[in-house]
Structure 1
Amino acid sequence: MHLCVVSCLIVSVVGYSSKLPVISIREGLESRERGPQHFCYHNHLVPGWRETWTRIQIKVCSSQQLKVTVVQDEEELQELEHFNLWTLMRYFLREQSNETTINVDLFSAKTCLRVDPSSRDAEYIVKLERKFDIYLFLVFLAGLLLFLCADSLSRSQVFYYSAGMSTGMIASLIILIFIMARLLPRKSPFYVMLAGGWSFSLYLIQLVFRNLQLILREHWHLAIGYTAVVGFVSFAVCYRYGPLVDERSINILSWTLQLFGLLLVYAGIQVQQVAFAIIVAAFCSKNLEYAARLALTTYNKMKPDWMRKVEPRRLLTEEEYQRQGEVETQRALEELRAYCSSPDFSTWKTVSRLQSPKRFADFMEGSPHLMPNEVSIHAQEYGLGSSFFEDDLFATDEEDEDEEEQDRILKREEHVKELFWNHRDM
């Protein structure tokens, strides 16, 4: 019985023939085959900037379940036909599906694969596609925007809560294992389970993303419940600790976002040379402002005086003039009080010369330097509607009238002279 099982496994692993032919995969042509077969694709294209977001994929489709093993060349394909323990393990680890998509590296000269259908009579199709991958472009665009907007995003509360909730929903199982590790004692045997729990969590996350469409289509109510519960818990945790306030923490988050953005830019471009060129250009453009500002400041300091443009001074408005007068007056009074309180000030000599020593003492204690009647007299003489203002206004009007009278006299004299010379010529 055991020999029969092992022999069946060997037959299923190594195939039904000792050596299978290698079928070449060509672009635009479909290969319809039955049973286990070997395929190879020879990439003769030299990648350039036009292939920045180009994706080459090999698709294997069938109405029944099949397994696909990807190798580098024909030699590894031949090794798959020989039975060994590693081949047997790889056979059981591979997943069965009706459709398998293999991404071909643009810089790989050759890509080979082996197809093992679930039954010998199962028909499947192998085809190669070359197309513009919109997902690669979106990943590149997201990384570029994240790099350029990292400073503002690191200070945004909306980004803080949305990123926290997204992280909680995606990696909730990993976070739960991390919390359990913090609560367990250091010498607990559960650490062995936790060590395997990290790998199991990553495997579950990969499995969920691979079958995300199926989950949303058939188990949408569970997906909504999970999103609501985990999202609320993540929001509560983020609200409990609050957004970042410390400037150094904000800088660390900004640098992390910039680094993650550059990684997305690199992952969203197929051609490495183009990716590095765009990364360098983005880094220089983001930091060009600081370099240009430093260069401009240095140039202005080193520029000769005769080359510097003298800008006209801006005149103060009436409100600014009054405010500045009040501020400077108060500052001068405080300086006067400080000087009168200093040891260098001769108190008795000064008091003996004052007409009102009590008023000086009140001033030193903080009283105003002007009496109320003095303020009213000043307002009557120099304020709006005062005699000084009226004299100035009327004096201006009289001067204007005098100037007009002088102009009329000069014009009359010129007219008389003109008539005199005309009469003389006659």
Structure 2
Amino acid sequence: MSNAIKPALSAVWSTDACDFCVTSQESPEGLLPALKGVTLSEWLEFAQADNDATIAQQLTAALEMLTPFNIEVPINCLDGTRRRVILSGLPGYTTSNSLGHFNGFILDITGQRKALEDALRTATEYRLLIENSTDLIAHCDRDGRYVSISPSYSEMIGYSVDEIVGQRVVDFLHPDDRVSAGDALMHLFEGGVLPDVVEVRKRHRDGHYITLGTKACGVSDPSTGDNIGAVLVSRDITHDKEKMRRLEKLATRDTLTGLPNRAWVYDKVRGMLSEGEDLTFTTVLFIDLNGFKPVNDTLGHAAGDVLLQQVSERLKHCMRSGDSVARLGGDEFLIAAKCLNREAASAIAQRLIDSLREPFVIHKMEVRIGASIGISLAGFGSVSVDQLFDHADKAMYQAKAKRTGSYQFYGG
């Protein structure tokens, strides 16, 4: 049997006092089983598409009691389709002014029934989705106040539905996120779209914050097209953010000292060189420790690691605001700074050398080392990062050759 539904059908009919159908007008013709010449009960028995006996009982009772009826029934049509129709009848009066016959109609409601069933099914599926989703699903009105939330909302942030619904969305956010989140909502209310996920921190009932990635879209009134609010679908990305921070740290930090590594400082210097309106010089200071190898060989690698950690702390304390210190590997470190001239760079270098000349204590033993520093300065667009690093490296080897624990500029 075909499931294709043709255009809706209808029929107007009337019966005589013996319940035989005497007139029938159908549109379109040829779809309904013949009505004329049979009783309504006979027609129903032939046309009905299921075995629901209550339908026939309802019709029989109405005919016997001469009462109006309005019965929904599935029927098999002559084109092979199955349709749902309303079979309606109203008692009529004979010429003697007594009840004895019926007038009525048949109306195809297949389309309406299907639309209703689809809507109910969609609503059920949506409700199941909302109730079982681990994502946070919420609806807010144009005032930015919660209208509804999914059960997962309460489970994740600790507030009950009654405590959330009616409250402003932004009131549950970290104070630093409220302005940007409010602007994003207003953009939706004005008909805009937010193609990207909005990251916010939502306050838990106990006071801590959960980082959420939220996808939001506006909701419009289907009759007017006016915005009536927004749907917000959020996911807890707290652990993802922590994982990203750990991975970023592994990628850009030296595991022994915690200082930035070569990759990080390379990008840092590249950004400094690109600052075209800056009148200062991008300055790189290469530091190589003097006397580190004897300590490492005599006291062991563990002691050497402790020494490198102590060196990194001293270097950090020598930095000005905005300066950066990184470990390149082994006993080599690098300082990235902005300097007005060579005198400013010299001051940094001398401060580093003086700091490293002070004795270190390793396993209750006093250890002394020094440093050789190579310095290279560059203005905007004058050299590449690789060239600047290479110049500082060459200057460092020149300083090391002096064996005086001093610094040397590239080019003299």
Q: TM-score, normalised by structure 2?
A: 0.25
Q: In proportion to residue count, which structure has more helix?
A: 1
Identify the structure with bigger relative contact order (alpha carbons < 8 Å, sequence gap 6+).
1
Please say which structure displays the higher CA radius of gyration.
1
Q: In proportion to residue count, which structure has more strand?
A: 2
